[in-house]
Chains A and B, each alone.
Chain A
Amino acid sequence: MLANVCTKALSDQRRGLVAWSVALVLLVGMYAGFYPSFHGSGSYTDLINQMPKALRDLFTAGVGGDLSSGPGYIYMEMLSFMAPALLLVYAIGAGAQAISGEEERHTLDLLLATPITRRRIVVEKSLAMALGITVITTAVGAAIIAFGAATGMGLSTVNVVASMVHLALLALVFGCLALLVGAATGRIALARGIPAAFAVVAYLVNGFAPSVAWLAPLRKFSPFFQYVGHDPIRNGFSFVAIAVSVMTAAVLVTAAVGLFRRRDISC
């Protein structure tokens, strides 16, 4: 487990990863348990449809709500807000720990004194974060498929997988942003705060864009649009969204490498 920077980072997170995965699986199980009382009842959907459009768009992340069908229910309860919010908390935390966490604890000196390049430290830490996100989203996806089948939600496995891939990429983008801020400043508070603020803005832009005309052109730039703009739980993969997300993450990591290599590491 201590062969390189990446496996060391994963080994540090092993307890956290298990805890996050278990908690999210239980959350999916709980929501699935409520599903039978929503199923076939149009009244909740009517409630959503009675909301002002702007509010409805915000609640449904601009996709529209339908609580009576399996995909609509899992989208509304898990995918529109709860799952991305929790995944972002994990990813931003892991990204902030990657460089600025070690720097504030002064353990970064140990790493920097080895023949490992700063570039490799950033790349391996990013990889560890991506693997951590993969572990959690895999657990969530498996839980949705299993509990969905058990409660008769009628979910398409491919679409659940697609939703999880898009969710993982959303988390990766914000995790990479946290890593970038940490690598550029060495300050963990900034590495957590800036991406969190960005996430709130991006969520609001994506949610309000369908009902606020001047926001509409900005929507495509929101990582939340890449995540759910094409409604993955009903429509599956969007390769354009995947490409945009992967490139965004790659640009962020490249910038993190560049800024980290230029920076003084003071004690």
Chain B
Amino acid sequence: MPVQHSAAVPPVKVAALTKHFGHRPALTGVSLQLNPGEVFGYLGPNGAGKTTTLRILMGFLRPTSGVANVFGLNAWRDAEEIHRRVGYVAGDVALYDRMTGTELLSYLANLRGNVDAEYMRLLAKRLDADLDRPLRTLSKGNRQKVAIIQALMARPSLLILDEPTTGLDPLVQQQVHELIREHATSGGTALLSSHILSEVQRVADRVGIIRGGELVAVERLDDMRRKSLHHVRVAFTAPIDASEFMIDGVHDVNVDGLALTCAATQAALDPLLRAVTRHQVVDLTCEEASLDDTFLAFYGGGPNAG
């Protein structure tokens, strides 16, 4: 299982991180800290700066200003030392196409020098990866599996995964999420990016939303779920007054004759139902909105959306 080095040092610490490509700012003042054992979902539209952040942490890009530390080491200066403890999947996965999966993995294992071949085979089995054919003959999804195996095979303490489940079918996606969860349960940390929340909501403890190079929010997923809206529809036997349902946390109240529709946060459900049951009810439905919808409600729109 992942080796925990000094537990007091955060696996990832980013402070006032800024990166410009020429005059174009790609990242502006991003600050973020990950805790050991945490899975962090890094969310944002394409071009928002997710990949730039991850590549800075890998030491591929040098920050224009600010701090980017991994295990307390400088991501740019101490990249090789950091890489001993990090598994990485690039956003745009490219492998040595003429090699087979086995050849590629044993080459990378030789370069790393600390890979357990048994564990590598176990991972291949769990992901149902074909390691015997040349990589160029595999589908995008099957190549992605090989990329994920190479990131996990050295049992790193930190996983940096740039959109790791794109191109994978739902079953394999679930397997990958399980592997990430197991990694976190045993004390490892994971930072994974995605452009949609639903892709990381099953696996992440916290999510950060980046847009236009700025980190606009960091939320615990549990808190997010509490804020998640429920669409409530009630049919009554007699006409009702909309003002009765103007409760804190209840939005979009609409009364149409005998029917009420509204959206309520989890916290507002109890007072809402108490108000409802003062009348005779014919029918009631309550549907939870997807977290994606909730996200859009909180962070959607704005000048940088997209």
Contacts and interface: CB of A to CB of B under 8 A. Distances in A.
Given A5-B111, A115-B111, A116-B111, A266 B61 contact: yes
B171 to A, nearest CB: 26
Interface stretch (B38-46, B90-98, B214-222, B279-287): B90-98
A111 B211 CA distance: 30
A188 B21 CA distance: 21
A106 B58 contact: no
Contact of A111 (B21, B51, B61, B111): B111
B251 interface: no
B62 interface: yes
Interface in A1-21: 2-5, 8, 12
Contacts of A5: 111
A109 B60 contact: yes
A30 interface: no
Contacts of B60: 109, 112, 264-266
B interface, by DSSP: helix, strand, loop or mixed? mixed
A267 B59 CA distance: 13
Given A3-B110, A117-B80, A110 B61 contact: no
Contacts of B260: none
A9 B182 CA distance: 36
B58 A113 contact: yes
Contacts of B111: 4-5, 111, 114-116
Contact of A110 (B84, B113, B150): B150
A246 to B, nearest CB: 28
Interface string B81-106: 10110101011101110100001001
A115 B110 contact: no
Interface in B219-251: none
B119 interface: no
B118 to A, nearest CB: 19
B92 to A, nearest CB: 5
A110 B80 contact: no
Q: Is the interface of A mostly helix, strand, loop or mixed?
A: loop
A109 B160 CA distance: 13
A265 B110 contact: no
Contacts of A2: 103, 106-107, 110
B273 to A, nearest CB: 51
Contacts of B125: none
A109 B88 CA distance: 9
A107 interface: yes
Interface string B111-128: 111000000000000000
B181 interface: no
A63 to B, nearest CB: 42
A115 B108 CA distance: 10
Contacts of B98: 12
B13 interface: no
B183 interface: no
B96 A107 contact: yes
B155 interface: no
B145 interface: no
Interface in A82-129: 105-107, 109-117
A109 B94 contact: yes
B3 to A, nearest CB: 15
13 contacts: A2-B107, A4-B110, A12-B98, A105-B94, A110-B95, A110-B96, A115-B81, A115-B84, A115-B112, A115-B113, A116-B111, A264-B62, A265-B60
